[in-house]
Structures are given as C-alpha cells and as structure tokens.
Amino acid sequence: MTQLQARGLVKSYGPTPALRGITLDIDEGEIVAVTGPSGCGKSTLLHCLAGILRPDAGEVSWRGHRLDTWSEAARSRLRRTDFGVLFQFGQLVPELTAAENVALPLLLAGTGRRAARTAALTWLERLSVAECADVRPGEMSGGQQQRCATARALVTEPRVLFADEPTGALDTLAGEQVLTQLVRLAREHRTSVVLVTHEPRIAAYADREVVLRDGVIDHTGLGLDAPLAGGSR
Amino acid sequence: MSTPHLLLGLLATGTMHGYELKRAHDTRLPQARPLAFGQVYATLGRLLRDGLVASTGPERLAGPDRTAYTLTEQGRATLDQWLSSVEPPMPYVNSPLFAKVVVALLVADVDRARAYLVAQRRAHTERLRELTALKTAPSVTVDDIVAADYAIAHLDADLRWLHTTLDRVADWHREVHP
Ligand SMILES: Nc1ncnc2c1ncn2[C@@H]1O[C@H](COP(=O)(O)OP(=O)(O)OP(=O)(O)O)[C@@H](O)[C@H]1O
Ligand SMILES: [Mg+2]
C-alpha cells in the first residue's frame, strides 16, 4: 500500500532551483535510498516529504491526504506521531539523558511519564545502548549518540522514518551497526524508510534507489554528472 | 587463493577426512566458490608427497574417502611461515575491469568505454545490494558477515573507481588517441 506520494514537486530557494518536478511513491515497509551528487536536492526532497518544508508547487500525500496544504501545527503533529526524523548529527538535547531524550517525543504526544520511560528503555536496549540510559550526550561517543537518536526517531513507532545521512558522522563499523539495526527494526515493524545518502554501500541497504540529478529523478539511475552520449571524442 | 595453505590450516584444528575438509572449507569461507572434491584430493596428494600431511587409516583399500589426514611437523612449519608473511599489497595493477576499459578506449570510442563502465557499475551495485541483504538477514553468522564485508569493501572501492573514471574517460581518450 502506498504510504507517501509526491507529485511534481518543485522547490526553489530564492533564485536557486532545488527540486524541478519530482514524482515518487513510497510503499508501506519499503526502504528507499535517495542518492545523487552534492547539491542535487536530496535533503530538500526529504524535507518536503516529511512536511518540514512546503513545496512551491506539486503535492505530497500521506495515505491519500494532501499533506502540503496542512497547517504547520498539523504537520508538526504528524511528525510527532506517524513520522520519525533522523539527521547526520543526532541532535539530541544536551541537557537531557539518553532515556529522557528518547522519551521526549512520547511525552510531547501525551504519553505518561512512566510509560514513556519504559518505552525509551526498551528502544535503547533494541539499539544496544541500554548502558547509556542515564548518561547525557556530551559523555557518549558519536556512535552511541547516533544510536540514541535512532531510538528517539523510532520510539513513537512511526510509519515513515526520514533519515538524512544518518551514518555520515560515524566510522564504517559504527555506521554499519546503526544501519543494520535500523533496517532490521524497520523490517520488523514494516516502517517505510527514506534514506538519503551519497555512499553506494549505504544505499545498498535499501530496497530501491532513487537517483537525483539537478533536482529531477535521473531515470537512467546512474547519477551521472555529465550526459551519457556526450559525443566528446 | 592458496588452497594448500587453507587445507593445512583446517587440518591444524584436527585430523580430518577429505569430505570433512571440504565441508569445513565451505563453512569457514561461506562466500567462496565451494571446493570441489577432486581439488581437495589433488591438493592432499601434493601435500602428502611433500610431507606436509600424513595419512592414517585404510589407504586406497576402500577408496580415498576412508583416509584421514593429519598435519605433520613440516606442515605446521609451512603454515606458520605462510601466516607470518605479509601479502604484497597490490604489486601489479591488473584487474579484468581495468583491462577492459583500456581496451575499449584503444579499439572503440568514448561512448563505448562509458557504456561498459555504466553497465559494470550497475552489475556491481546489484551485487553490493545482494551481499548487504545477506548481512542484515536475521539468521546471519559472523562467518557470513566477515566474508560479505570483504566483498562489500572491494565492490565499494571498484564503484568509486568506476565513478571517477567515468568522469575521466574523455580526457583519457584524448591521451590515447592524440
Ligand atoms: N537554505 C537554503 N538556502 C538557499 N539555498 C539552499 C538552501 N538549502 C539548499 N539550497 C540549495 O538547493 C540545492 C539543493 O540542496 P540540497 O541541500 O537539497 O542538496 P543535497 O542533495 O542534500 O546536497 P548534499 O549532498 O551536499 O547534502 C543546492 O543548490 C543548494 O545550494
Ligand atoms: Mg543534504
């Protein structure tokens, strides 16, 4: 079943075009990698799909409902319930412990304190960072922070997880461990994932790869910077 | 790949029959091409001749399968020597991938070379995805992960090379055909 649908997305920053007509469907439980050279519009697409940015033209539908026309309040409510977001640098709240960070989205969604803490501990455990529960981000390694951020993105059991270079700040092994767990948990819970990355080996975790070039989907799937038939002999 | 040393290594864990050796090989190197029985026995024959292994049990009587093999002291020394020598890190740059692009540029044009690079990149990407799926499967073993990691790292390196070479093809062609 299609969860998320984008039709003809266009987005510019002032005179700079970032998206020039993107059409894309994402199914339930599907893991889609968005790749392409730097500046091609990957992050902008992710932000439009997640309802963080409003496109200049085109539509984003969530289970058949037009998301792009919703108010900011309605969209941010959706990001607390059905959507999870994860960035390159986990962006944990420095003053809170790992367990408090992970419990936060549940508290914002109205879950009681005790239930939120229990769920937070369960998710920290699933991401193998139970030992960090009462530690603040400043005293954790980058890999531990990213696992906590992943736990926080998944604790609400979102239907779609948006991840922008989620392992970009980690070394290969730490990055792989985070990603392996993320993919396993997503498969277990049938969560759809939009995974932005510029690395082939990260994109290989996805079911499907969408390659962008200059704000459009490159249907050759190759992400070439130059056209193939260049005739440049 | 050094099959003789691999077999010596497997025999260092205990005496084995030929078929046990084959099975141990295929388990420890899950993504390697499975070892053929013929190859196991041919290699064991050479190791016997060189005194690196000794055979026990009813030789030749009931067929080679009844024979068990043990590492000799000389075999152990050969294995130790192999283990303590470093592999020369890429002494020659000669991969079939590389050779094919060179030849394509010699005999054809830029588009032909690019078309090959693009097709190869697609094949590499598919294999990368297969191995990654294997790694994230719930029933995966560390043997599988380590083997897949090795292949993934090499495919990833090839992919980077394919990508940058695609951008260099035009310049390269001008150099080959001034
Ligand atoms: N806040 C902004 N203000 C102005 N221009 C922006 C802004 N964000 C992005 N852009 C421009 O929009 C285009 C697409 O940017 P985007 O961040 O989506 O690319 P990206 O594919 O995520 O790149 P990277 O791989 O480097 O993260 C680029 O030309 C970029 O310079
Ligand atoms: Mg980006």
Residue A62: which CATH number?
Answer: 3.40.50.300
Please state the rounded mean pLDDT for residues B103-131. 89
What span, in angstroms and rounded, lies between the C-alpha atoms of B173 and B110?
6
pLDDT digits (tens, 9 = 90+) for A8-35: 999 999 999 999 999 999 999 999 999 9
* pLDDT per position as a tens digit, A22-74: 999 999 999 999 998 889 999 999 999 999 999 999 999 999 999 989 999 99
What single DSSP character describes residue A108? H
Within 8 A of A208 by CB-CB distance, chain B residues are none
Question: Which of A218-222, B84-88, B89-93 is predicted least confidently?
Answer: A218-222
Domain identity same for B138 and B73: no
pTM attached to this predicted model: 0.82
B110 touches chain A (CB under 8 A): yes
Does ipTM exceed 0.85? no
Residues spanned by the domain of A164: 2-82+158-221
Query: How many Cα atoms occupy the beta-carbon half-sphere of B38 within 13 Å?
Result: 0
Of A54, A91, A82, residue with least CA distance to A192: A82
Contact B111 A183 (CB under 8 A): no
Q: Does residue A18 sit within a domain?
A: yes
Residue nearest (by alpha carbon) to ligand 1 atom 6: A13
The CATH number assigned to the domain holding B24 equals 1.10.10.10
Residue B100 has pLDDT above 90, yes or no: no
Residues with Cβ within 8 Å of residue A127, at least 6 apart in sequence: A147, A148, A150, A151, A178, A181
Please state, rounded to an integer, the average pLDDT across all residues of chain B.
89
- Interchain proximity A228–B118, CB inside 8 Å: yes
Q: Does residue B79 share a domain with residue B133?
A: no
Residue with CA nearest ligand 1 atom 13? A18
A107 has a pLDDT exceeding 80: yes
CA of B30, closest CA in chain A: separation in Å?
20
The yes-or-no verdict on residue A227 having pLDDT over 90 is no
Confidence class of residue B65 from pLDDT cuts 50, 70 and 90?
A: low
Q: State percent of chain A over pLDDT 90.
A: 72
Comparing C-alpha atoms, which of A158, A162, A161, A134 is closest to residue A148?
A134
What is the tens place of the pLDDT at every residue in A113-157?
Answer: 999 999 999 999 999 899 999 999 999 998 899 999 999 999 999
Tell me which range, A70-74, A223-227, B47-51, is most confidently predicted by mean pLDDT. Answer: B47-51
CB atoms B136 and A183 under 8 Å? yes
Total count of domains within chain B: 2
Choose among B135, B152, B170: nearest Cβ to A230.
B170
Domain membership flag for residue B57 = yes
Inter-chain CB proximity A222 and B173 less than 8 Å: no
pLDDT of residue A77: 87
The residue whose C-alpha atom lies closest to atom 16 belonging to ligand 1 is A41
**Letter for the amino acid at A227?**
P
Domain of residue B114: give its range: 96-176
Q: Is the CB of A43 under 6 A from ligand 1?
A: yes
Is residue A88 included in any domain, yes or no? no
Expressed in angstroms and rounded, the spacing between residue A40 Cα and the centre of ligand 1 is 7
Residues of chain B in contact with residue A209, where contact means CB-CB under 8 angstroms, are 125
In chain B, which residues have their Cβ closer than 8 Å to the Cβ of A229? 111
User: Is B100 in the same domain as B172?
Assistant: yes
The reply to whether B75 falls in a domain is yes
